[in-house]
Structure 1
Amino acid sequence: MLEGSKLDSVNLSVLKTLNDWQSTDTPVWLFTVVETFGSSPRPLGAMLALRLDGLAVGSVSGGCIEDDLIKRAQRFELPTDHAEILTYGLTQEETLRFRLPCGGVMRLVVEPAGQADWVRKVLERISRHQLVRRDLDLKTLQVTLNEGLPEDTVTYNNGILATVFGPRWQMLIIGAGQVSSYLARMAQALDYNVIVCDPREEMRETWDVADTMLSKEMPDDAVLALPVNSRTAVIALTHDLKLDDMALLEALKSSAFYVGAIGSKSNNDKRRQRLALFDLTEEEIGRLHGPVGLNISSRTPPEIAIAILAELIQVRSEQRKTVSLSANCNM
């Protein structure tokens, strides 16, 4: 059985474009990376939508495989009534031709998708911040949609391709200020479902980031109301000590993979002293990222947002390495 990651923001763009293309009579195919050996330019689950006229969105490689797929489509070599597997890199000549990394082999599922009604249904569920699992029978093109689970992955097994669509990660931002606005927009591009909490009415009235959830609860209640898990980041950005600390008191006790607070080093040192007066252990307080974000000398709101997301990427990468090392040790 082959496994991969869930939908990323590039793949979401693929689905949206694919949905638009279905209003035309031009044949359309969807390609999904289902297996890689050695190095690969794109991860498992990466997608590409391709029209017969050569228009394409998404990516399954650095470009050479895409060029070959366009030629196959224009030579009418792609399936129209079933899905099938395409393999690249089995020979050294193919590796060089398609510029795959040394030892790299890639397998794709190609499916005709010009009239696929499941695309619209999946996009509707994603708009409601739902995870969706799609099972595709390669022989019959029958599609089944079910509720996705956080631990679900992209798999190909016994002729069934399972893909998972929807936001993979969750971010709770405390404060609806300018930094939060930039952070929310950028986080959405990295597959976060963004919830913004601010009990201050004057701050909520100016919030204008689409596809975010806006809460007027007190920060500690907002943390407790969420299904906080290992895919959740909680970031306090109000500069109001009372509001930020309320959120941190609950978030640091949770299973959130990242908890951060804005402010200078001295202010965050004082914050840690305040937190120690409550029912938090030294280890829990040690989980606080404060000042929030990587130290890249950021000053403007968008720079601060970039620094925060850079640290989130770093933390997630370190966690993946830890999981991988643990799995190897247990083999």
Structure 2
Amino acid sequence: MKIARSLLVLVLAFSIFSISPAFAAEKTIDQYYMYDVDYDHEAYNQLERFLYTDILSGYEETEVYEEDGEIYEYTSIFVKPGNTITRAQFTKILVNAMNLTSGELNKSFPDVKATDWHYDYVQIATSNGIIIGKPDGTFKPNEKITRAQMASMIYRAFEPTVDFSAPVKTFTDVTTNNSAYEAIVKAAGVGIIKGIKNEFKPNNPAKRSQAVLMIDRALHLELGTAVDESQVTQVVDRNITEEFLLTEQQDLEGLKTLYRETTMGYYLAFSLDNLAFQEDSEEMEGTVTAKQVGEHTSTVVSLNKRFAEVKVDNLKVHVAMSAPDMSFEMTVDMSGTAYLKKTEDGTWKIYNIVYDEDYEDAFTAAMEEE
């Protein structure tokens, strides 16, 4: 867990570390902010989770502008939740979400070439029995995927790991003659599909947000294990304790390694971007120290096969800053919730942390008092 956003910025600003460009993140923090999704959007949390964990990349747009004779670039990420989604795009998201790898391939498609960007994703999904293809033997990767086709792929993908034995839910516009009937009614029975009143509208082109919602619901129906529970708390505890230790030792290499081994996606970019902050900061004289007070506890709140939430309580931190023109001491409560995802290699990593309190206001108030 990060010691604190404001605290780390203060540490860097007062030159405890000397940062080099080598520590900039592979992806910058700007690449994890959705600029076209409001907080009240029905799929906001799911879209953010997929973006933060690199399941979804979004569309990157860079604006170049000049100010005071300097040229700047500003990156915006557009998720476009209301847009339709192609069969290839949906396949990529599904493969990424499930950390799928290629199995034995016994089928190929003439309209999916090795030079296509989606080739590997289609091969992986096909080898895992998720893709069947069209009656004419093609896949039609650029065709808009329908809600029925999406339901079928999700059902085939999650049938080995999700219990679909709940009573089915039927829709007035999905008959037994529909090739996706079983997938639709069983997926609806466990809550993966919600429908619109009594209709599913199976032939309608699916929206990007609908794809994310359905996959996310399925992911959260997969069961975790006792081993997973132990691993997620170990990762969170390691991130907390080693970050304090390495910060005190001024071990920048150690911090970089820690972040790469315990964080991913948004939180990795955030962590490494903070380390690179010094590049653009004026050197200032002073010291900042942060020490944990007492012991914290980490408790698993929710856990499934690929996602977990860990509540961290009693994480008290004593912060002291001394500089020529200001100084202060304060103890802040850094308790909060860590969100983790299992990666392709089977390790758990933190992709976001939400704190219980707005400690940034406390830091600001303390500095203003001085």
- Rg larger in structure: 2
TM-score in same-fold range (> 0.5):
no
With normalisation by structure 1, the TM-score equals: 0.29
Bigger strand fraction: 1
Structure with the larger RCO, 1 or 2 (CA within 8 Å, 6+ apart): 2
